[in-house]
Amino acid sequence: MKTQLERIQRDIEALSAFNATPGQGLTRLSFTPEHAQAAQYIQQAMEAAGLKVRTDPIGTLIGRLEGTDPTAPVVMVGSHFDSVKHGGNFDGPAGIVTALETARVIHDEGITPRHPMEFVAMIEEEGARFGSGLFGSRGMTGRLTQEELASNHDDQGISTAQAMEAFGLDPARYRDAVRPKGEIGSFLELHIEQGPILESTGTQVGIVETVVGICNLEITIEGRPDHAGTTPMDMRADALLAAAKLTLFVNQAAIQAGNGTVGTVGKLSLLPGSGNIVPGWVQFTVDVRSPRGDCVNQVREALFEEIRRLTQENDQLTIKVRTLMEMDPVTLDPHVRQVLQEQGEAAGLTTRTMSSGAGHDAMVMADIAHVGLVFVPSKGGRSHCPEEWTDYNQLQNGVELVCRTAMALAAEE
Ligand code: HGY
Ligand code: MN
Ligand code: MN
């Protein structure tokens, strides 16, 4: 092995400590003290590995190693280091640690690659604070909008732009994070599988071929707060009742679409929030995914139709929909997958081709680079929960594969 398990384990354990909810899973939201602490650790590790480190205008850490051919496109390795609320220690950091360890191996071996290499740590991939995920990679590929920075807000009503400013970033410069097409040749990401396949088949690493399409919506329902005891049932504008009907509708529409389509209402807030008041206001998220883009569209269109029906059924309801994020399904680069396959065999690893039901920065980076995504097993298939776990030797298998592949790509003519 070129990589060292002790360094991998040390990084994961160190990053796990930068947590707003110790003892209740990992919560590391963007533009928070935990983000700053983790960024400082990552920057120091990048510098110790001989990289020149900068932070891009939206908060992504970029550690660069010059190559012998400055005109060659960059080989980039990375992932995200924000988390969901009360999540696990491996979703994101496994890919960060992979980037750090790859940089250390190259540094240890005193190699100057032909291609320049960049090792990146992105933020707000989960969207757990502001609702729109894949933020760092969308910033690099020009998919962010001014509107989103101003309109997306956290549970305290702070917008993304305000949080960036408070963190010392200038949100007006978000476009300066964009990387021109051609500048980055390939992007490699290691991620935990967040599913049961590798563990149940005893396969060491997964090589991802496709990533599902995703549609994230924010639905806001304005009804009317009324006395729960004196308001007859046929005179109510009950916002939560409408939200409940739409939640059930999303569930049924996803099942009906089939083909692996999934639909989830994962976050809901309501006002005023007393047991004796008919809810007058509800805001909730809808997350629809499918390997088939037409199935995502089918569910979204059916949902819009149901919203129209509900507002006709009760004209005291106003229902607004805001699109938080949309990605088509992505097929990852055949050449990079081929190199991963070859390096896997050379390293004596068992591999299998997989699809991803989770979204990843890799799916966005495919806009501007040839992308490879490697999975390592998740214990019990669990993720986005404190129980999330990957054995360190399993993680090291994936790190070894990405490290060797990155070095092979960085040597290519
Ligand atoms: O939601 C996802 O698929 C990823 O964990 N951000
Ligand atoms: Mn992730
Ligand atoms: Mn995640």
- Tell if the pTM clears 0.85, that is, is over it: yes
* Ligand nearest to the backbone CA of 373: 2
* Ligand nearest to the backbone CA of 92: 2
Closest by CA position to 25, among listed 75, 69, 91, 74: 91
Strands 117-122 and 61-65, sheet pairing: antiparallel
Q: What is the pLDDT of residue 169?
A: 98
What does the pLDDT look like over 173-187, one tens digit per residue?
A: 999 999 999 999 999
Determine the distance separating the centroid of ligand 3 and the alpha carbon of 384, expressed in angstroms: 6
Q: Ligand 1, atom 4: nearest CA belongs to which residue?
A: 359
Determine the distance separating the centroid of ligand 1 and the alpha carbon of 125, expressed in angstroms: 7
Separation between Cα atoms, residue 51 and residue 64, nearest integer Å: 5
Tell me how many degrees the CA angle 165-170-176 measures, rounded to the nearest 5: 150
Residue 374 CB coordination number (10 Å) = 29
The tokens for 151 are 């309109």
Residues with CB under 5 Å of ion ligand 3 are 91
Separation between Cα atoms, residue 152 and residue 32, nearest integer Å: 16
Q: Cβ(280)–Cβ(225) under 8 Å?
A: yes
Residues whose beta carbon lies within 6 Å of some atom of ligand 1: 125-126, 133, 358-359
Query: Which of the listed residues 330, 360, 373 should we mutate to test ligand 1's pocket, taking the one with most ligand atoms within 8 A of CB?
Result: 360
Under DSSP, the state recorded for 332 is P
The DSSP code sequence of 159-226 is: BHHHHHHHTT--GGGGGGGPPPTTTEEEEEEEEE--SSHHHHHT-SEEEEEEE-EEEEEEEEEE---E
Closest by CA position to 82, among listed 108, 59, 104, 56: 59
Q: Cβ(380)–Cβ(37) under 8 Å?
A: no
The atom number, within ligand 1, closest to the CA of 91 reads 5
Determine the distance separating the centroid of ligand 2 and the alpha carbon of 360, expressed in angstroms: 6
Determine the distance separating the centroid of ligand 1 and the alpha carbon of 400, expressed in angstroms: 24
The atom number, within ligand 1, closest to the CA of 359 reads 3
> What is the average pLDDT score of the chain?
98
Separation between Cα atoms, residue 241 and residue 282, nearest integer Å: 10
Q: What is the pLDDT of residue 307?
A: 98
Phi, psi angle pair for 264, to nearest 5°: -140, 135
Determine the distance separating the centroid of ligand 1 and the alpha carbon of 216, expressed in angstroms: 11
What does the pLDDT look like over 289-330, one tens digit per residue?
A: 999 999 999 999 999 999 999 999 999 999 999 999 999 999
| Bridge partners of residue 62, in order along the sequence | 54, 120
**At residue 1, does pLDDT exceed 90?**
no
Determine the distance separating the centroid of ligand 3 and the alpha carbon of 198, expressed in angstroms: 18
The atom number, within ligand 1, closest to the CA of 214 reads 3
Instruction: Compute the radius of gyration of the chain from its Cα atoms.
Output: 22
Residue 339 CB coordination number (10 Å) = 21
**At residue 366, does pLDDT exceed 90?**
yes
Residue 408 CB coordination number (10 Å) = 15
What does the pLDDT look like over 74-130, one tens digit per residue?
A: 999 999 999 999 999 999 999 999 999 999 999 999 999 999 999 999 999 999 999
Q: Cβ(297)–Cβ(254) under 8 Å?
A: no
End-to-end CA distance of the chain: 25
Split at pLDDT 50, 70, 90, the class of 165 is very high
* Ligand nearest to the backbone CA of 133: 1
Q: What is the dihedral of CA 81, 87, 90, 94, to 10 degrees?
A: -20
Determine the distance separating the centroid of ligand 1 and the alpha carbon of 114, expressed in angstroms: 34
What does the pLDDT look like over 46-78, one tens digit per residue?
A: 999 999 999 999 999 999 999 999 999 999 999
